[in-house]
Amino acid sequence: MEANAQVTTFTVATPRMRFHCRRWGDADGIPLLLLHSAFGSSRWWERFGALLPSAFYVVAPDLRGCGSSEQTATGYAIDEQAADMGALVAALGWDDCHLIAHGSSGAIGMQLALDRPELLTTLTLVDSTPVEGVFTPLDAYLVLEQMRQDRALLQQAIALLMPSLPLEAGDAAVANRAYLDQLVDDAAGMAPAAFTEPARALSQWNQFSAARRLTLPTLLVWGDRDAIVDREATTRTLLAIPGANNLEILRGVGHSPMIEAPQRLVALFVDFVTQDFAGFDAIRRSA
């Protein structure tokens, strides 16, 4: 199957804000929305997007305060960012779409599925924040603030999110280091609030009980070298979502499969969205 090798960028205006986006494929393809995690940008999806079949029309936005999207001091609560994505889907003219959310944006994806279930065909959560949210200790906020001024610390933190990415020797390492530098540049240019407010938002968000309403087909993917999200938290999310049909574990991969193992992640996603979901209907109806 032909892949979406060519990426372009564009801006989408919504009633909430303007979003800078990357896209792959033709506008008449199957709609797929990709959400990056905290300290990320749409650039995190470049390797993954280029490998997806050309049947998909793929859009990856820079979230609020990130990349080249608008920088704001407020609006980082999970329900507000879910509303951002609902407005983006509407502005794109999509009736519904597949959604893949990574890391902290897993909470945004789950909240969007709860608030606007008609917008999503499937939900894929990649090394996602657990359904009960995450508590960030006070001293961790000091480190997050320090990253604004300390590029070396910021680069070290981002590199830890992709432990299997070769950075030391060979041609691949040279390309990977250049790519990592771009990711760090994007993170360093975030809105000041984007360094701390997403963590604060996740500490105030918990949808463990409400997750019983998540009956749309859902796939969870987790890298077994993830230093941020552990397997127990991911399993709790799996069990809390009636529509979740599986947890796929990527061996030897860390928190960022779309960068560390994009081909494996593409294969899992395509296999998931092309299966027959009829077998899960009874479970979802009973939820």
**Max Cα distance, the chain (Å):** 53
**HEC-encoded secondary structure of 174-194:** HHHHHHHHHHHHHHHCCCHHH
> Degrees (nearest 5) of the Cα angle 128, 19, 22?
70
H helix or E strand, kind and range, residue 247 = strand 244-250
The pLDDT of residue 279 = 58
Structure tokens that stand for 135 in this block: 């508590």
The pLDDT of residue 246 = 87
Residues of the chain predicted below pLDDT 70? 1, 5, 277-287
Is the Cβ–Cβ distance between 102 and 93 less than 8 Å?
no
Domain ranges for the chain: 7-286
The pLDDT of residue 1 = 61
> Model pTM?
0.95
What radius of gyration do the chain's Cα atoms show?
18
The pLDDT of residue 285 = 55
Looking at the chain, list the stretches that DSSP marks H as alpha helix, in order from N- to C-terminal side: 46-51, 78-91, 105-115, 138-147, 151-160, 171-188, 197-203, 231-240, 257-260, 262-273, 281-286
150-157: long-range contacts, CB 8 A cutoff, minimum separation 24? 151/184, 151/188, 154/39, 154/184, 154/187, 154/188, 155/180, 155/181, 155/184, 157/39
Bridge partners (DSSP) listed for residue 99: 33, 123
- For residue 229, how many C-alpha atoms fall within 13 Å in the half-sphere facing its CB? 33
CATH numeric code, 7-286: 3.40.50.1820
The pLDDT of residue 287 = 46
> Degrees (nearest 5) of the Cα angle 262, 86, 69?
65
